[in-house]
Amino acid sequence: MSLINLIEFKSLGDDRGGLVSLEGNNNIPFDIKRVYYIFNTKDGVSRGFHAHKDLQQVAICIKGSCRFLLDDGQKKETVLLDRANVGLYIDSMKWREMHDFSEECVLMVLASHHYDEADYIRDYNEFLMASKK
């Protein structure tokens, strides 16, 4: 099974421009508890490098582009996010890294829970051990 699960959102845009609507438990497969966004990322910076024990997320590059690497402990896959109407679904226990942020990139992330540092696995070896269980 592919690690890369892309959700294509219906485009509600018209000749005036683009519009995408995101609804929890509808086109987003969980109740949205938190939204955060990453922007003004400095040149050459990569982010992420963690997994979550119990958190689902959908990442949408609403402007510009960045490359995601997902890893389930057995395989790694990458995908370029560069469309405002496509979200990458990221399940719990997936190591993620974000690379190659374009200068104008705005990466918006929808999350199924509030921020909780205790839910993070930030050590790759710990992630590998946990993902074998």
Enumerate binding residues for ligand TYD (CB under 6 A). 34, 36, 38, 47-48, 50, 115
The CB-of-34 to ligand TYD minimum distance in angstroms stands at: 6
Whose Cβ is closer to ligand TYD: residue 3's or residue 52's? 52
Q: How many CB atoms lie within 10 A of CB 39?
A: 13
Contact 32, 24 (CB under 8 A): yes
Q: How many CB atoms lie within 10 A of CB 43?
A: 6
Query: Annotated catalytic, 99?
Result: no
| Of 50, 52, 113, 114, catalytic | 50
Whichever of 36 and 39 has its CB closer to ligand TYD, that residue is 36
- Judged by CB, which is closer to ligand TYD: 50, or 63? 50
**d(Cα 74, Cα 128) in Å, to the nearest integer?**
8
Tell me if 109 sits within 8 A of 72, measured CB to CB: no
Active site residues: 50
